[in-house]
Structure 1
């Protein structure tokens, strides 16, 4: 017998549950299907556990610097089971809170199981068939396993495995020098592991400007992380000491032996076992569901939100997908993906806050640009905290006087970047932020000074 609903949501990540809340509040009957863990990647294996671990690593690092602040401590040691237990509690509290909310939501049927399309408007869950005129996919993604020689012959970890570790690896080799890999690199170095980062590109986080990339590398190397870039042929083999990773770099030893190997080379969407072909839903070559600027698929009445659509890889972009869909469907609004201004952060210490274009992207656009850079050694708040690593940079359009992008690599950078992000969202000229009066002492107080230093840069 077919069960009929006004809407079906597949996946209880960051977009699905709030969408269920809006739809049921509008009087609709909704089925929310989740085959694994409510909360998705962010709650269970991503943002929440990793940033909890980052906080523990920061505490360990600061304790080791206590003498610099006139504080005497004893021997510093890491209780990794306690660190891991703290992260698990944060996860469980968040997941339980989400589950309790959903289970008490009037008009919502929460189903546990694997959803598969049987047609454009029908979905089967463990033998039961459901139908609805509106179907929303929020199925997320998972770590990608690269097709590298020997990768299937050795034991390796992904981000899900890492947040569950309750021991400190003797030597952690991380394949992938981008956001996930670098956060774990610094974190486990501070926990006491030897850490080597292996990156195929010539520099870390290669999509960022070279000065940002170089500064991040220097921060990690200063803490004892070994960085191997230009690894043109990465391969794996079993070794008495764990796993031998062939790196084939232009400099340094050709093989690195690690007790543990973390693969941090990207993500893939959870779309390969949903029966999308039976519904006629189009995907790209990587499996991402193709959507338009309203998040609609090529099949009328079916939307895709969050990581599975390839239009954002962050918790906040997934939540914004929900906001766009809900505003258009329920509020009579006209919101699009094209209106979204992307900001994000790299949570090493100090963090990197980013928004908009890089300087390189702005130069390549051919427009006349203005650029200003200032070191964090000019920021009183950073000096007082003893955390002066990093710098600020802002890029603006010389003709329109609009900010094109910014980077703040420094203490509080993940928060201070929002002052710039908000001005860009409001489409205000540089002068509007120039005459702001920020609070002293804060990181943000240097932003007006940064704007005063804008100078022309010749386009490429």
Structure 2
């Protein structure tokens, strides 16, 4: 097992329980991206930012606070780093205490199809599992070598609040950090090359997210066709070349959030004959086996999902097929994910754009969160709910819930889709009141033809 991310340790546990001997090689931090630089520390940071935001809104709820609201940046950093450290230690302790599992720390490289070198030691096995994750992509933009910049990893090491954080990239990672640091007190500007934020989402969802961020004082610079960097005294100038506004934004800190790349470039994959695509992702079949029989790639490095839950599902697929005589496939997976701004966006299945591209007749239901009782009661009415249904079969095609509790409420739809339930079946469910989920049947009862 190369790498101890979300898939590797769980698979090691299943294999050792089945009587196999396993060697796990980790070169740096146990737990992978999620534990160390992804979900756990960032959502801990987001939670601290939400607390600061809610305190500032206390008067909206009839609560009067005395004195100024201040953020202790060192305490915020210590909290999120402590959450990560605890989880990382637990993963390492689990592996090191696992009967039948040998843990090695070092850099693993293939020297042949079924042989891996770790320092001076050569490990050989019939089955090898690659779970090495990914890292921030740093493109060769003009001037990038002349200025200091942050990635999602280095930003988590800060224990100060940037005076002005310039976020390059208007997608999921960048938006979460942008809102969090705005709530901590930073001036924040987001620079996005495209015409709108989170370009893979539908335009109405994208526009709603942009409105949420603008309402909190975040500056958006879209259509930034020629992003460039230059020192600007003690600060950093970021050229945007937008169609309107000043051609340069000057900030104290710059965060690059322009995508991810797999950690596959120094594994010696060519020595094993393992194929990769043009971006370095390991090519796998529907059972996650690479071009070399007996070698599997799981998690972010295979390009078949960039989330903790898809990595863990990779483990489930491989374990079921190898140990339970199953025939599970990645292509059976219904995509679901969330954007953890506040309010969060929960997404499952196809977007409206994907449904239109398919050419199939469809129905759509849309409801503003201002018409959701639970949102009104909580004083959090930004966002919308949206569902797409096949007009002929009434199969549920996809959904988006941008609003309070959206990351949780979306699972009712995700579960229904996994069970193959149609829209009429879900429409007659009786959800609990007052919740966001209770409006899902209402949405389905108000479907209209997709124009």
Same fold (TM over 0.5): yes
Q: Which residue of 1 aligns with 2:181?
A: 188
- 2:306 paired residue among 308, 313, 319: 313
Report the CA distance between 1:242 and its aligned residue.
1.0
Unaligned runs of 5+ in 1: 1-8
Indicate whether 1:148 and 2:148 are aligned: no
For 2:157, what is the secondary structure of its paired residue?
coil
- 1:95 paired residue among 78, 88, 93: 88
Q: Which residue of 2 aligns with 1:5?
A: none
CA distance in 1, matches of 2:114, 2:405: 47
Report the CA distance between 1:153 and its aligned residue.
1.0
- 1:106 paired residue among 99, 108, 120: 99
Q: Which residue of 2 aligns with 1:357?
A: 350
TM norm structure 1: 0.97
CA distance in 1, matches of 2:200, 2:225: 18
Report the CA distance between 1:53 and its aligned residue.
0.4
CA distance in 2, matches of 1:80, 1:173: 18
Indicate whether 1:120 and 2:83 are aligned: no
Q: Which residue of 1 aligns with 2:202?
A: 209
For 2:438, what is the secondary structure of its paired residue?
helix
Q: Which residue of 2 aligns with 1:346?
A: 339
Report the CA distance between 1:241 and its aligned residue.
4.0
Indicate whether 1:134 and 2:127 are aligned: yes
TM norm structure 2: 0.99
The question of whether the paired residues in 2 share the 8 Å contact of 1:346 and 1:352 is answered with: yes
Indicate whether 1:36 and 2:28 are aligned: yes
Q: Which residue of 2 aligns with 1:60?
A: 52
- 1:218 paired residue among 200, 207, 211: 211
Report the CA distance between 1:317 and its aligned residue.
0.3
Alignment deviations for residues 16-51 of structure 1 (CA, whole Å, 9 cap, x no partner): 000000000000000000000000010001100000
For 1:118, what is the secondary structure of its paired residue?
strand
Report the CA distance between 1:364 and its aligned residue.
1.3
CA distance in 1, matches of 2:420, 2:235: 53
Structure 1 consecutive aligned stretches of length 4 or more whose deviation exceeds 6 Å:
none
- 2:63 paired residue among 71, 81, 91: 71
Report the CA distance between 1:89 and its aligned residue.
1.0
Unaligned runs of 5+ in 2: none
Tell me the number of residue pairs that the alignment of Structure 1 and Structure 2 aligns: 450
The question of whether the paired residues in 2 share the 8 Å contact of 1:241 and 1:257 is answered with: no
CA distance in 2, matches of 1:119, 1:70: 68
CA distance in 2, matches of 1:350, 1:58: 10
When the two chains are superposed, the root-mean-square deviation of aligned CA atoms in Å is: 0.6
